[in-house]
Amino acid sequence: MASWNSIPLEVAYQVLGWTAFVSWSFSFYPQVILNFRRKSVVGLSIDFVVLNVTKHSSYLIYNATLYFSSVVQKQYFEKYGEGQMIPVAANDVAFSAHAVLLTSITLFQIAIYERGSQKVSKIAIGIVLAVWLGAAVCFFVALPTHSWLWLINIFSLIQVFMTVTKYTPQAFMNFMRKSTDGLSIGYFSLDFSGGVTNYAQMAVQSIDQGPPSSLPQPNNSCNSIIPLCLTSFKTYSLLQIRG
């Protein structure tokens, strides 16, 4: 297993990682608090939250399995080489677990607070069912050969797909209402900050490990780049509507 070549870079990696954890983790609270104060979730897309729960659940499965499972780590080193570092840190696992908890709380708020005429769309239900059914099929495909690394990479791809998909219902709702009332901009600004620091963390690891072969795996890069681009656009859109 690879070790750090530079102590300053290792320290920077840890600082950036936990900064991303704090930014991403705190991003959930403004919306939860806003919902609690208003006793309403009108303005927040239910589809967005449902898709977000699936997104973070799949990401937790990927992070926790790769971080804690010695079997999966062994398969990772066999594929990428003993000199590589696993692309998951403790802050990734902590964030994923926290994200599942907070998105579940938001989903609970949707169940108990005023939500107007809004309900989960058939499209969102179809996407969630298709994703988890596909994951179940992949599990049984991986089972005979114990291809667990391949399986958790499927969950990473699911996470990327859900990241791209989940913002659409909220953006559409904002457009139709011509308003962002009931939606906290704090979520998107902190999500943006988390994306910046998380990608910087991966860049620091790549610099320390040297050659291009040690650059972050594509799926992990997408986990930061895609949210970074989307939240940048989303935050700008919110400011334009409110301005």
The 10s digit of each residue's pLDDT in 208-237 is 876 544 444 444 445 545 555 554 445 445
DSSP 116: T
Give whole-number Cα distances, 143 to 31, 61, 84, 139, in Å. Answer: 40, 16, 26, 6
Is the CB of residue 194 less than 8 Å from the CB of residue 24? yes
- Rounded to whole angstroms, the Cα distance separating 7 from 107 reads 42
Domain boundaries, the chain: 7-242
Q: Tokens at residue 16, please? A: 């950036």
Q: Are the C-beta atoms of residues 67 and 90 closer than 8 Å to each other?
A: yes
- Segment 47-106, tens digit of pLDDT: 999 999 999 999 999 999 999 999 999 999 998 888 778 888 888 899 899 999 999 999
CA atoms of 7 and 208, how far apart (whole Å): 9
